[in-house]
Amino acid sequence: MATMNKELIYVGDPQCSWCWGFAPIKSQIEDMCRGRAVLTLVVGGLHADWTEPADAERKGFLRDHWKEVGERTGQPFIYDILDVEGLTYGTEASCRAAVTVRQMEGNDAALQFFTGLQRAYYAESRDVTSNDVLADIAAEFGHDWRAFTELFAAPETGQRTIADFQFAQRLGVTGFPTVLINDEKGYAYLTMGYQPIEQLGHIVEAWLDGKLERG
């Protein structure tokens, strides 16, 4: 999977609010890794099996939670999506969309598309549980609408998405965003949960320079 000796693994979900808060940090880490390490996207399936419409209590919880994330991270949130009747919070489709682009165009394109899905959901109130909306966003990123739609619906894409969920579980991931390193010493966590770049950046840089002490 990695073409360099060092791999950084980002585990997240397009509909994880803390992952949206982490998006600018992920972008900075991508810049830090360019030419020095592979940054691999793994989708985690935050609420992959959620099919029930969100009730008023759930929507109220989400609104309060998103407000907290926005205040802490400075990321924009628009809450109109919470007014959609019958809104579900299932995240399998948006995760599968990211895997679809990864299959079509590779990991770097999938990382950019992942951020686009987050922005569409949280900052534009677009329903990324809708297959048509997902295909439209893919087209906006320059991916062929028909090719995306066909691959998105293919059984093997669903299987690869589940494989990502299972891989995250095998790594012991229990929260998002999670960043792990994978090198000659094996896997190790850099963070499980949101951390600002002021805390995380110097750790990533030390690892890239081969100066991170590991037990």
Where in the chain are the domains? Answer: 7-208
Query: Could you tell me the two tokens for 56?
Result: 């008023």
CA–CA separation, 61 and 186 (whole Å): 38
- Give the C-alpha separation, 13 to 53, whole Å: 19
What percentage of the chain carries pLDDT values higher than 90?
Answer: 87
pLDDT tens across 54-107, in order? 899 999 999 999 999 999 999 999 999 999 888 888 899 999 999 999 999 999
| pLDDT tens profile 133-148 | 999 999 999 999 999 9
Provide the 3-class DSSP secondary structure of residue 7: strand
Residue 215 has pLDDT above 80, yes or no: no
The average pLDDT across 161-169 equals 97
Q: Look up the pTM and report it.
A: 0.95
CA–CA gap between residue 189 and residue 157 (Å, rounded): 27
Q: Give the number of other Cβ atoms within 10 Å of residue 29's Cβ.
A: 23
Tell me whether residue 95 is exposed, middle or buried, using C-beta atoms within 10 angstroms of its C-beta: 0 to 12, 13 to 18, 19 or more.
Answer: buried
Q: Quick check: 47 pLDDT over 70?
A: yes
For 7-208, give the CATH class: alpha beta
* pLDDT > 70? residue 4: no
| Coil, helix or strand at residue 186 | strand
**Nearest-angstrom CA–CA distance, 36 and 55:** 46
State the Cα–Cα distance between residues 41 and 29, nearest whole angstrom.
Answer: 12
Residue 1 has pLDDT above 70, yes or no: no
DSSP 130: S
